[in-house]
Amino acid sequence: MTDNPQNRFGTESNPSNTLVSRTTGTSLFGRRSAEDSDSQNVPARTTANATTARPSNSLFGSRTSTISNVAGKPLAPHHHKSGNAIASVMRKTTSGPQRAQFTPSDYPGITKLAIASQKAGYDSVAARNPDILPTTQDRLQVQSRTVSNEQYRRFAKYIEDQSGIVLGDNKHYLVNSRLSSLLLRFKVATIDELINRAMQPNVYKDISSAVIDAMTTNETLWFRDTYPYLALKNLILPELAKSAKMPVRIWSAACSSGQEPYSIAMIVQEQATAMNHVNPDQCQIIGTDISPEMLDRCRFAHYDNHALARGLSAERKARFFKPTKDPNVMRVDDKIKNMVNFKQMNLLGSYSLLGRFDIIFCRNVLIYFSNEVKSQILNKFADCLNPGGYLILGSSESIQGLSDKYEMIRCNPGIAYRLKS
Domain finish residue from 133, 159, 175: 133
> What pLDDT score does 213 carry?
87
Residue 326 falls within a domain, yes or no? yes
> What pLDDT score does 165 carry?
87
Q: Which residues contact 214 (CB under 8 A, 6 or more apart)?
A: 178, 179, 181, 182
242 with 386, same domain? yes
169 with 257, same domain? no
Rounded CA separation 11/175 (Å): 44
> What pLDDT score does 102 carry?
61
More confident residue, 122 or 400: 400
What is the per-residue pLDDT across 315-350, written as a single tens digit (0 to 9) for each?
999 999 999 999 999 999 999 999 999 999 999 999
Predicted structure pTM score: 0.64
Please state the separation of Cα 261 from the chain's center in Å: 20
- CA-closest candidate to residue 32, choices 24, 20, 46, 47: 20
Rounded CA separation 183/148 (Å): 15
**Interstrand relation of 78-79 and 64-65 (parallel, antiparallel or unpaired):** antiparallel
Q: Is 35 helix (H, G, I), strand (E, B) or coil?
A: helix
357 with 254, same domain? yes
Indicate whether 217 pLDDT > 80: no
Q: Quickly state the pLDDT bin for 273 (edges 50, 70, 90).
A: confident
104 with 177, same domain? no
- CA-closest candidate to residue 341, choices 394, 271, 289, 267: 289
Q: What is the mean pLDDT of the chain?
A: 78
> What pLDDT score does 101 carry?
58
Q: Which residues contact 374 (CB under 8 A, 6 or more apart)?
A: 366, 402
166 with 257, same domain? no
341 with 382, same domain? yes
Least confident of 127-136, 352-361, 380-389: 127-136
Indicate whether 81 pLDDT > 80: no
Please state the separation of Cα 341 from the chain's center in Å: 23
- Here the CATH number for the domain that contains residue 292 is 3.40.50.150
Indicate whether 304 pLDDT > 60: yes
**Interstrand relation of 329-332 and 321-323 (parallel, antiparallel or unpaired):** antiparallel
Task: Report, as an integer, the average pLDDT of 64-69.
Answer: 42
Q: Is 133 exposed, middle or buried (0-12, 13-18, 19+ CB in 10 A)?
A: middle
Q: What percentage of the chain reaches a pLDDT higher than 90?
A: 54
Rounded CA separation 327/107 (Å): 13
287 with 153, same domain? no
Residue 148 falls within a domain, yes or no? yes
Count of the separate structural domains present in the chain? 3
Task: Report, as an integer, the average pLDDT of 28-45.
Answer: 42
178 with 315, same domain? no
Contact between residue 260 and residue 294 where contact means Cβ atoms under 8 Å apart: no
Residue 24 falls within a domain, yes or no? no
Torsion sign, CA atoms 109, 110, 112, 114: positive
Instruction: Find the domain containing 371 and state its range.
Output: 227-419
> What pLDDT score does 72 carry?
47
Let me know how long the chain is. Answer: 421
238 with 376, same domain? yes
